[in-house]
Amino acid sequence: MPKRRWLVRSVLWVLCAAVVSWTAWAAPAKSRARKPQPKIPDIKSSDDRMAVLERIRGSFPALKTSSNKFSSESLDQAIELYVPRVTKTPFAKVVDDVTFLRRVSLDLTGVSPTIDKIRKFEVDKDSKKRARVIDEFLASDAYARKWARYWRSVVFHDSSAQRNRVNPEAFEEWLFTEFKAGTSWDRIVAEMLSASPQRQKGKKDNENGWEQDTGPNNFVLACENKPELIAAQSARIFMGLSVGCAECHDHPFDDWKREQFHEMAAFFSPGKYYMTDQYDPDKKSEMQAAFLLGEEPPPNLPAGQRRVVVAAYMIYNPDNHWFARAYVNRVWNELLGDGFYAVDSLGPDKEVVHQLIVNRLAYTFRTGGFDTKALYRTICNSATYQRETRTIAEDADLFTAVRPTRLRPFEVADELERVLGADMKPIRKGVERAFEYNPSIPQRDLEGSIQQALLLMNQPQIQNKLARGELKQQLSGIKDNAAMIEAAFLGVLARKPTTDETQRYIKFLKSTGDRNANIDDLLWVLLNSAEFTTRR
């Protein structure tokens, strides 16, 4: 049986399990031809969509064979086996407790730990305290909020949708609720892909006229409800495949054809879908929906059912390994500063480092039910994640250390709020705008800007709050210079000063008689250091 036909039948088997028995639908082709094909159930609501997708998920064979695990220890063993084969650069040391706490706190919750939490963690003698604090952060609301903000940024960064037709806040709140509840990644993506927001008669766009107050609808609406944009963004964000340029011509670097792109886009069309001729804009060809791997749904499906089908193809097709791999690669990139692939570049002909490791991580993620917290737990508990930071110039040196990375715009705003001890709402948008960058650009390609530096150095509200905030008051009450300097470093940078730093700032404090002004200067210097806006 040709592979294409087998793939089509395999997905239809599980899809139609919602209304007919598997045995009847899986009958041989000759006998099946004598019977009418089963009707896929009507899908009129989110609950209908998720009910069908849940049945498909229950039939997903990989979820039933989840005995294989890839522990943190196994991950370290694999890294220590494969990395030395391509480089002689030694592995960096594992960081101390304070550095680890700041790093994992920023990565999992988006904000540095408090002075009190740092001090308690440092003196804790429990050998499992790092694993314990990882679990603590994963169970927090801050974890759900940080990653809801991250995915909001991923979806909306390049969106040109009219502001009154989308609701990014509702999208973030929905994601926050899902992450907080521990909803698996496949279910979250399935609801986004299968969403079918409708124009509400009698309502203006800004009055929920496109059902944008319903969180998951906003992925489709961010793509302007255009089939071509939905197809391109779905492939890029959820499979790491940059197929967008195939809309106009065959992909110049990957093996994607123009027809394949438009067959994918046809899944998201409200009716018939047509591809404009490449050379004659007046000539159009009707395209039938087909997934990138060749799967074709039954003909004449309503739009809502087609979107459920394409979600099933993308997530649960046993031959589609990109979905799990793309998520693992993104998370790895966020936590270590580099991915196995460049983000959004997982195509068949793209470069990859240590492919066996990312494949095994992705397989474990997939067979473990797409459990996002389990993936974070595996990575964060590894020595690979807990190594010291180091600038990495050569791909061969990847994962010998962790790359220092720039904080996300919302993290910079949250860090300022933590230090200033004041409400950041009046200036938050300005801070986030100044520090905004595309979340899919590799960290190695990012650079700071003069605008960012000037904002932290000269913004009047920041300077006023810094000089009058709670941290400044605490420092003013500490008479011992060394103790005050340590508290300043912990309060701003969430680390203790080195011996040289302590001696240098003691000398500075004694250089003039105005201790209050000197404390202001110390706080200003720490806040304006590159370290303040860097995860290290």
- Give the pLDDT band (50/70/90) at residue 56: confident
The per-residue pLDDT for 246 is 62
As given in the structure block, the two tokens for residue 324 are 């799990």
- Give the pLDDT band (50/70/90) at residue 274: very high
Instruction: Express each pLDDT in 147-187 by its tens digit.
Output: 999 999 999 999 999 999 999 999 999 999 999 999 999 99
The per-residue pLDDT for 431 is 95
The per-residue pLDDT for 13 is 40
Q: Is the pLDDT of residue 254 over 70?
A: no
The per-residue pLDDT for 21 is 31
Range with lowest mean pLDDT among 97-106, 143-152, 303-312: 303-312
CA distance 309 to 267: 8
Q: Is the pLDDT of residue 14 over 90?
A: no
Q: How large is the average pLDDT for residues 445-473?
A: 93
Instruction: Express each pLDDT in 256-266 by its tens digit.
Output: 788 889 999 99
Q: Is the pLDDT of residue 16 over 80?
A: no
511: Cβ contacts below 8 Å, ≥ 6 apart: 518
- Give the pLDDT band (50/70/90) at residue 68: low
CB atoms within 10 A of CB 26: 14
- Give the pLDDT band (50/70/90) at residue 25: very low
Per-residue 3-state assignment (H helix, E strand, C coil) for 199-224: CCCCCCHHHCCCCCCCCCHHHHHHCC
What three-state secondary structure class fits 354? coil
What Cα–Cα distance (Å) separates residue 407 from each residue in 107, 154, 336?
9, 15, 13
User: Torsions phi, psi of 39, nearest 5?
Assistant: -85, 130
Q: How large is the average pLDDT for residues 185-206?
A: 93
Q: What are the structural domains, with CATH classification, of the chain?
A: 72-94+321-397 (no CATH), 404-536 (1.10.3130)
482: Cβ contacts below 8 Å, ≥ 6 apart: 502, 506
CA distance 303 to 268: 7
Among 404, 349, 308, CA closest to 92: 404
Q: Are 412 and 431 contacting, i.e. CB atoms less than 8 angstroms apart?
A: yes
User: Residue 66, class by beta-carbon neighbours within 10 Å (0-12 exposed, 13-18 middle, 19+ buried)?
Assistant: middle
Tell me which amino acid residue 244 is: G
Q: Are 400 and 390 contacting, i.e. CB atoms less than 8 angstroms apart?
A: yes
As given in the structure block, the two tokens for residue 524 are 């200003």
Q: Is the pLDDT of residue 34 over 70?
A: no
| DSSP category for residue 246 | G
Q: How large is the average pLDDT for residues 193-200?
A: 92
State percent of the chain over pLDDT 70: 89
Q: How large is the average pLDDT for residues 102-127?
A: 97
Helical pair 46-58 and 303-316, crossing angle rounded to 10 deg: 30
CA distance 157 to 146: 16
The per-residue pLDDT for 416 is 95
Q: Is the pLDDT of residue 32 over 50?
A: no
Q: How far is residue 437 CA from its own chain's centroid?
A: 14
For residue 285, list its beta bridge partners: 275
Q: Is the pLDDT of residue 305 over 80?
A: yes
